[in-house]
Structure 1
Amino acid sequence: MAKSQQTFNKLEKEKKRLKKREEKQKKKLARKAEAKEKGGGIQFAYVDHFGNLTDTPPDPNDKIEVDVEDIVLGIPKKEETDEDKFDPIHKGKVSFFDTSKGFGFIIDSKTQEKYFCHVSGLIDTIAENDQVSFELEKGARGMNAVRVKKE
């Protein structure tokens, strides 16, 4: 006599699977029957002119006509103001400069901020207490004075 190819464990798993499928079908039919009894159907949510959700439809008399040309997509271009137009050339005084090491610091005359200055950013040779004009450029550790000229 030959042994059955299906083991007891496989039969149990198959029975559980079929039972689950039947339960799911019963639940589905029960939900359908419940929906018919309520007579509800699909509930709607309306949005009023303030953007709030309501259950009442909007009044067609309150409808506002909007011209297509008035709708702006994206961000409007920024208009230049006097604050945006600034002079890139700053004036200041050399507070410290070491010629052997090739760097120093310049204090801005308007903001009193200190800016690092390297010998590679010099146009003229400078020394301490010289009045200079310079431009600012973003460096590794902050703003650096570049294109430094003696006045």
Structure 2
Amino acid sequence: MGRSQITFNKKERVKKQQQKRQQKQEKKELHKSDNNKGKALEEMFAYVDEFGNISNTPPEKKYEFKEEDLLRPTSDEDEYHHGKVSYYNNEGHYGFIRDNLTKQTVYFNDKIAGIVLRLDQHVKYKFIRTKQGNQISEVILS
């Protein structure tokens, strides 16, 4: 009786393996039919119309770029901002200045500032954008 049980389990395993192979082959054929290899570049393009909708046809009206479209807008990074030291870590000698208008914070440390700032001190500052976030470039006590 034990022996017929073993062969039954073996038959079931073989059957499952064959089903897996069949499913894998079907999946492979499905992927082959869905891929974009061999298609012309134009067939793979997607266009966006003036309303932001995606379509397969190129737009009828082309946008003519003007020179001012390519210029970057002037940033407010060149002017002084007014703020107050909202956080200061005495051990690390760094902190954050919160802008009075936008309420955004800007990182500083004593080396960059060139002076030692205190909590709740009012300052005028300029900042630059870095990978880590906004960081002061100049500070003046006000």
Specify the TM-score bucket, using the shorter chain as the normaliser.
0.3 to 0.5
The structure with the largest helix share of the pair is: 2
Relative to the length of structure 2, the TM-score reads 0.46
Q: Which of structures 1 and 2 has the bigger CA Rg?
A: 1
